[in-house]
Amino acid sequence: MRRGFFFPFTYAVLSLLALIAVPGIGHAAGFNADAATRAYLDTLQGSARAKSDAYFEGGYWIALIGTLVSVAAYWIMLRLRILPRVRDAAERKGRRRALVVFEVAAVFLMASTLLLLPWTIYTGFVREARYGLLNQSFAGWLGEQVIGLFVTLVIGSLLFVVIYAVIRRLPKVWWMVSTGVVSVFLALAMLFAPVYILPLFNTYSELPQGPVRDRIVAMAKAYGVPAEHIYVYDASKQTKRISANVSGIGPTVRISLNDNLLHRASEPEILAAVGHEMGHYVLGHVWRSWIWLTALYGLMLFLAAWVMPLILAQYGARWSIRDVADPASMPLLAGVFVVFSLMVTPITNTLVRVTERDADVFGLDAAHEPDGFASLSMKLSEYRKIDPGPVEEALFYDHPSGATRVRLAMRWKQIHMPGAPMAKPTPIVLEPMDARH
């Protein structure tokens, strides 16, 4: 059996088994997974737990309000007929059709960014600073938003040019062909982002030689993960969050750790994090995600192809939009996407959460650091509610909750290290909220 099929099947089974308690094993050997789990969860109490819960639960409303704010911004653009004016001016100048679409797309992306800027400032800067997760000044944060806008203008405008060319030439099946277009753009983004886009925001340098690098290289070699280069990037200039990733596809695959992980985590925690990220690579999660994202975008494009003609039949003349192929319809297309994206959030969360769970099991097998994984999961409580109810986790979590992950790690330890001693986890202390924001 080829490894590409063997690993996902094996770890799907193992991840299920690891979530099932095995009575007697831990008690006979003096290790109790449930008691060990409770010891970790009890390290987050009082104001620290209240702050963690408040931040994450606020995100539920952020998603809903953000959708409403986006729809309002797109409605303003339609109501003021901003894009029809740009379209008409470009056509009067005798622009080629592709250039007309490019100009309209650029104006759409800039106008929507400006209309959404107050909301973006609140969610991306004010709220993050209030909860002590941001390290940037407003000027630094805004500068990166400008860089991101330029990247979006180039890539987004080109994408719109291709999609509207497809709509114009294949009006009956445009959504199907556009799905393929989006799929290609996603693949190109995965290929080139680690090399050409991410370095616009952070500086990447080689991880220094030492015990941590040696163990990461050993894990990588054991599972066929490219490890010629292992990078560290300076995320601490932006945020306090800890993270790592195995990004890229083909020749651009690389292991990257942010400097917060190196400075704020112990060696077992670092290895647990990197082992998890290697799991995404070995289990083919990049390609799996590419497939289901393509399918999801295809569904939304299909729904857009159905809904947009109905809306334009009623309001198209009022908004000076000729038909679906008119580039002035971009706000309507974006609005349909935003609404449908919110509606399918539980589905996308579940798809991501399943892959994350499988990577968790892989990381435990690769690193053999269950306590490092558990303590790292507790540190992530800075921005993730640690112990939600089952329905709450199913609907709102795109990663397993901290409690689920700690429980998984301790049951893994109970099965694979039955004679190991109970750890004495350190209490979690979170900085108080900044009342100035």
Q: What is the pLDDT of residue 435?
A: 52
Provide the β-strand partners of residue 232.
Answer: 205, 257
What are the start-end ranges of the H helices in 80-210?
82-92, 97-121, 127-130, 138-169, 174-192
pLDDT at 183: 96
Nearest Cα to Cα of residue 212 among 143, 266, 284: 266
Residue % of the chain over a pLDDT of 70: 91
Residue 28, Cβ neighbours under 10 Å: how many?
9
On the question of pLDDT at 17 being above 60, the answer is: no
247-275 burial: b if 16+ Cβ within 10 Å, else e = bbbeeebbbbbbbbbbebbeebbbbbbbb
CA distance 57 to 40: 21
Give the model's pLDDT for residue 426.
83
CA distance 374 to 317: 59
Give the pLDDT of residue 274.
97
270 pLDDT band, cuts 50/70/90, is very high
% of the chain exceeding 90 in pLDDT: 85
pLDDT for 339-359, tens place per residue? Answer: 999 999 999 999 999 999 999
Q: Give the pLDDT band (50/70/90) at residue 4.
A: very low
Residue 425 has a pLDDT of 86
Q: What is the mean pLDDT of residues 56-61?
A: 95
Q: Is the dihedral of CA 376, 382, 384, 387 positive or negative?
A: positive
> In degrees rounded to 5, what are phi and psi of residue 266?
-80, 170
The stretch 106-118 carries a mean pLDDT of: 97
Note whether 284 and 246 are within 8 A (CB): no
Kindly give, in sequence order, each residue whose CB lies less than 8 Å from that of residue 86, ignoring residues fewer than 6 positions away.
103, 104, 107, 328
How confident is the model at residue 169, as a pLDDT?
96
pLDDT tens figures, 215-257:
999 999 999 999 888 999 999 999 999 999 998 888 899 999 9
Give the pLDDT score at 30: 66
pLDDT at residue 161, as a whole number: 97
Q: For the chain, first and last CA: distance in Å?
A: 56
Burial (0-12, 13-18, 19+ Cβ within 10 Å), 146? exposed
CA angle 10–290–391, rounded 5-degree value? 65
> How many residues appear in the chain?
437
Could you give the angle at which helices 46-79 and 97-121 cross, rounded to 10 degrees? 140
pLDDT in tens, 66-111: 999 999 999 999 999 999 999 999 999 988 999 999 999 999 999 9
CB 247 within 8 A of CB 254: yes
Which residues share a beta bridge with 247?
A: 254
pLDDT value, residue 437? 53
Residue among 261, 254, 252 nearest 206 (CA): 254
Q: What does the alpha-carbon distance between residue 344 and residue 334 come to, in Å, rounded to a whole number?
A: 15
| pLDDT tens sequence across 356-415 | 999 999 999 999 999 999 999 999 999 999 999 999 999 999 999 999 999 999 999 999
At residue 95, the pLDDT reads 86
Q: Mean of the pLDDT values across residues 269-284?
A: 96
Mean pLDDT of all residues belonging to the chain: 90
E runs forming strands in 241-399: 244-247, 254-258
- Could you tell me the two tokens for 375? 């303590």
pLDDT score of 434: 62
Question: Could you read off the pLDDT of 284-306 as tens digits, one per residue?
Answer: 999 999 999 999 999 999 999 99
Say how far apart CA 196 and CA 194 lie, in whole Å. Answer: 6
User: pLDDT confidence of 8, banded at 50, 70, 90?
Assistant: very low
- Residues 22 and 411: beta-carbon distance below 8 Å: yes
Q: How far is CA 386 from the centre of its chain?
A: 19
Q: pTM for the whole thing?
A: 0.87
Quick count: other Cβ atoms within 10 Å of Cβ 13?
A: 12
What pLDDT, on a 0 to 100 scale, did the predictor assign at position 355?
A: 96
User: What number is the average pLDDT over the span 309-319?
Assistant: 96
Task: Tell me if 32 sits within 8 A of 421, measured CB to CB.
Answer: no
Strand-pairing partners, residue 245, are 256
> What region does 338 belong to: left with phi over 0, alpha with psi -120 to 50, or beta?
alpha
